[in-house]
């Protein structure tokens, strides 16, 4: 291992200096450098290739024991500790498999559910007339990632989005605040989303800003617009930083 380190870094530091720092002889290093690979080294190199193939075919989810079983099934004779060492040398570490879908433990109040104003009318005559919103979750190597989006039905473009490690009201509210900020706070808008459990955002799942809007919806729109104005002021004040 010391000779390998010297060979790898001798383009940066002199070989003699490296050998002295590691406590090995310079002559021994050059003898090792010209010596053909040993039988064990060749065997390790072959096994390392098989380990890499098994690990990558598992989508990086196999640990040393499963890789070892793969090699045994192929008729390769080797020990578990050897596989562990070869995986460690190559920097292979199993990532967790996708777990079951995250539970939705939120409470839904029937009294707070708005009527379906959109009524599956997914065509819009102009921008900022009808927005639809929802969120989903994506499995990553670090766990579930939640993504919320707001789509303008006129252009079918995503006008606001946000991401978070948790399924909270803030996740979906941030997406709506971004949409309002980017589209200049529309005066008349129908916002539609499903009956989720994320508190304030789903509390008024759809609200036209003109007519047919109850007090709860007006309060929700007012608080969101206040947040959007605060975000705009903060971005304008911090732009020079």
pLDDT at 112: 61
- Domain membership flag for residue 104: no
If asked whether residues 219 and 142 sit together in one domain, one would say yes
If asked whether residues 174 and 62 sit together in one domain, one would say no
If asked whether residues 145 and 224 sit together in one domain, one would say yes
Domains of the chain: total: 2
pLDDT at 136: 86
pLDDT at 158: 92
If asked whether residues 118 and 202 sit together in one domain, one would say yes
- Asked if 78 and 68 count as a contact pair (C-beta separation under 8 A), the reply is yes
- Domain membership flag for residue 103: no
Burial of residue 239 (number of CB atoms within 10 Å: 0-12, 13-18, 19+): exposed
What are the start-end ranges of the H helices in the chain? 2-9, 15-22, 26-34, 39-57, 64-73, 80-89, 169-182, 200-203, 215-238
- Domain membership flag for residue 180: yes
What are the start-end ranges of the H helices in 137-214? 169-182, 200-203
- Domain membership flag for residue 40: yes
If asked whether residues 157 and 114 sit together in one domain, one would say yes
Rounded to whole angstroms, the Cα distance separating 180 from 224 reads 9
If asked whether residues 213 and 124 sit together in one domain, one would say yes
- Domain membership flag for residue 215: yes
If asked whether residues 74 and 140 sit together in one domain, one would say no
pLDDT at 35: 83
- Domain membership flag for residue 148: yes
If asked whether residues 220 and 125 sit together in one domain, one would say yes
If asked whether residues 133 and 220 sit together in one domain, one would say yes
- Asked if 151 and 158 count as a contact pair (C-beta separation under 8 A), the reply is yes
Low-confidence residues of the chain: pLDDT under 70? 1, 96-113, 195-241
If asked whether residues 135 and 27 sit together in one domain, one would say no
- Asked if 104 and 167 count as a contact pair (C-beta separation under 8 A), the reply is yes
Tokens in use for 103? 């539970």
pLDDT digits (tens, 9 = 90+) for 101-139: 666 665 666 666 677 788 788 888 888 888 988 888 887
If asked whether residues 208 and 175 sit together in one domain, one would say yes
- Domain membership flag for residue 177: yes
If asked whether residues 230 and 132 sit together in one domain, one would say yes
Boundary-marking domain end, from 54, 89, 124: 89
Q: Which domain, by its residues, includes 137? A: 110-238
- Domain membership flag for residue 36: yes
Find the CATH number of the domain harbouring 225: 3.30.420
Boundary-marking domain end, from 89, 124, 158: 89
């Amino acid at each position: 291992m010391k000779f390998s380190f010297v060979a790898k870094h001798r383009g940066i530091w002199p070989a003699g200096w490296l050998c002295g720092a590691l406590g090995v002889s310079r002559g021994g290093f050059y003898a090792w450098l010209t010596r053909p690979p040993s039988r064990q080294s060749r065997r390790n190199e072959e096994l390392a290739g098989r380990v890499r193939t098994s690990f990558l075919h598992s989508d990086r989810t196999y640990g040393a024991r499963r890789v070892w079983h793969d090699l045994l099934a192929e008729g390769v004779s080797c020990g578990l500790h050897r596989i562990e060492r070869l995986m460690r040398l190559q920097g292979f570490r199993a990532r967790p498999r996708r777990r079951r879908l995250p539970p939705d433990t939120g409470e839904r109040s029937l009294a707070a559910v708005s009527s379906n104003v959109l009524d599956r009318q997914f065509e819009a005559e102009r921008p900022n007339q009808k927005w639809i919103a929802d969120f989903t979750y994506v499995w990553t190597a670090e766990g579930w990632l939640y993504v919320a989006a707001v789509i303008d039905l006129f252009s079918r473009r995503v006008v606001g989005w946000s991401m978070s490690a948790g399924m909270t009201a803030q996740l979906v509210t941030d997406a709506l605040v971004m949409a309002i900020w980017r589209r200049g706070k529309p005066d008349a808008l129908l916002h539609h989303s499903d009956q989720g459990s994320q508190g304030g955002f789903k509390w008024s799942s759809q609200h036209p800003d003109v007519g047919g809007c109850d007090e709860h919806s007006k309060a929700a729109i007012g608080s969101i617009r206040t947040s959007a104005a605060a975000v705009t002021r903060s971005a304008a004040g911090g732009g020079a930083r």
